[in-house]
Amino acid sequence: MTPLILVTNDDGIHAPGLAILALALQGLGQTVIVAPDQDNSAASHSLTMKRPLRVKDLGRNRYSVDGTPTDCVTLAMGKILPHKPHLVVSGINPGPNLGDDVSYSGTVSAAVEGTMLGAPSLAVSLAGEEPFYFETAAVFAVKLAQTILGKGLPKDTLLNVNVPNRRPEEIQGVRFTRQGRRVYDGAIKETLDPWGRQHYWIGGGTPFWDAGEDTDAQAIVAGYVSITPLHFDLTNHAALSMLRKEWRLSLLP
> How near is the Cβ of 19 to Mn ion at its closest, in Å?
14
How many Cα atoms occupy the beta-carbon half-sphere of 184 within 13 Å? 11
Whichever of 130 and 169 has its CB closer to Mn ion, that residue is: 130
Q: How many residues bind Mn ion (CB under 5 A)?
A: 4
Q: Under rule CB under 5 A, which residues in 119-158 are in contact with Mn ion?
A: none
Whichever of 132 and 209 has its CB closer to Mn ion, that residue is: 132
Q: Where are the beta strands (DSSP E) in 95-151?
A: 121-127
**Residue 41 near Mn ion by CB under 5 A:** yes
In this structure, the strands spanning 182-183 and 208-209 are antiparallel
> How near is the Cβ of 106 to Mn ion at its closest, in Å?
6
199 residue type, one letter? H
Check: CB of residue 98 under 8 Å from CB of residue 230: no
**Residue 93 near Mn ion by CB under 5 A:** yes
169 residue type, one letter? E
**Residue 64 near Mn ion by CB under 5 A:** no
Instruction: State the Cα–Cα distance between residues 38 and 187, nearest whole angstrom.
Output: 25
**Residue 101 near Mn ion by CB under 5 A:** no
Question: Helices then strands (H, E): number in the chain?
Answer: 6, 13
Whichever of 30 and 38 has its CB closer to Mn ion, that residue is: 38
> How near is the Cβ of 14 to Mn ion at its closest, in Å?
13
**Residue 71 near Mn ion by CB under 5 A:** no
> How near is the Cβ of 247 to Mn ion at its closest, in Å?
40
**Cα-based distances in Å from 114 to 17, 29, 77, 131, 232:** 19, 18, 8, 30, 12
Q: Under rule CB under 5 A, which residues in 2-21 are in contact with Mn ion?
A: 10-11
Whichever of 4 and 101 has its CB closer to Mn ion, that residue is: 101
Instruction: State the Cα–Cα distance between residues 42 and 70, nearest whole angstrom.
Output: 12
Whichever of 16 and 118 has its CB closer to Mn ion, that residue is: 16
How many Cα atoms occupy the beta-carbon half-sphere of 182 within 13 Å? 19
Whichever of 93 and 160 has its CB closer to Mn ion, that residue is: 93
Q: Taking CB positions, which residue lies at the least distance from Mn ion? A: 41
Which residues lie near Mn ion (CB under 5 A)?
10-11, 41, 93
